[in-house]
Amino acid sequence: MEDLVRIRGLWKSYGRTLAVADLNLSVEAGKIHGLLGPNGAGKTTVVKCIVGLLKPDKGEILVNGVKITSSESYKSLIGYLPEDPALPEYLTVEEFLGYLARLRAVKPQEAKLRVGELMEIFNLARLKQEFIGSLSKGLRQRVAVASAFIHKPKILILDEPFLGLDPEGQLKVKSMVKEIVKRGGAALISTHMLDTAERFCDTVTIMYMGREIISGDVESIKQVVNANSLEEAFIKLINRR
């Protein structure tokens, strides 16, 4: 299968602080790839470089086989969820999702249907006329996650998508991700939830202080360090640094 996201030799610094160093990473079509690491490992920086919010110092990023520096058209393929979504508190749930559908160039009639569909999937239909500012943190996260799927993207780039969600919400996200991947798409998911990553991701990359420690399928990584779980493997690998 082809790589829908490929990173080659990525470097990024903030002033004198090195955030990502010589990272190579691939996300294959039909796969869910987990990006793991402790706080400050560089995960969010990698995500922001992929979606074009940060410019790498060095290296190359290809999305669907196209260098992201050659055209911004690749962004139409991506469904993006930031780690800490800033949602407009003065819009209702329905208004916000409709607004994003227009930004994503979804046709008006299709947009109306898609907004309704996502509100049903994420149990937001009863809240469609509620202002986002009045919602709980968990419900806001549901709205933010739903927004990443508004245009039926081919590639998902999700930064901590399960944060703040109850078990039902997490299950909805997993189902939606699997649906896109089943159609030949791909997902890159940054998360601290190692037990979820072990069960949900096909492959993972573990980062520490901006560098890749190891990449591969979960079972292979566990075997490398003689661990019974991904969490145990993660701790062993980090403690070796």
> pLDDT tens digit string along 155-165?
999 999 998 88
Query: Which pLDDT belongs to residue 214?
Result: 95
Region of poorest pLDDT, from 30-34, 92-96, 102-106: 102-106
What integer pLDDT is reported at residue 121 of this predicted model? 93
The CATH number corresponding to 3-239 among 3.40.50.300, 3.30.1330.60, 3.40.50.410, 3.40.50.360 equals 3.40.50.300
Residues 234, 207: Cα–Cα separation, whole Å: 10
* 63 has pLDDT over 90: yes
pLDDT tens-digit map of 99-125? 999 999 999 889 999 999 999 999 999
For residue 216, name the pLDDT band (cuts at 50, 70, 90). very high
Residue 240: per-residue pLDDT: 81
Helix (H, G, I), strand (E, B) or coil at 240: coil
Calculate helix-pair angle for 93-103, 108-121, nearest 10 degrees.
130
Average pLDDT over residues 56-63: 96
Q: Write down the pLDDT at residue 13.
A: 96
Structure confidence at residue 164 (pLDDT): 85
* Exposure on the CB side of residue 187, measured as CA atoms within 13 A: 28
Strand partners, 81: 158
- E strand residue ranges, 29-89: 32-36, 58-63, 66-67, 78-81
Rounded CA gap, 149 and 91, in Å?
A: 19
- Measured in whole angstroms, the distance separating CA 93 from the mean position of its chain's CA atoms is 21
Specify the amino acid at residue 148: A
Q: What is the mean pLDDT of residues 13-38?
A: 96
Residue 163 is predicted with a pLDDT of: 87
> Which is nearest to 24 in space by CA: 73, 59, 68?
59
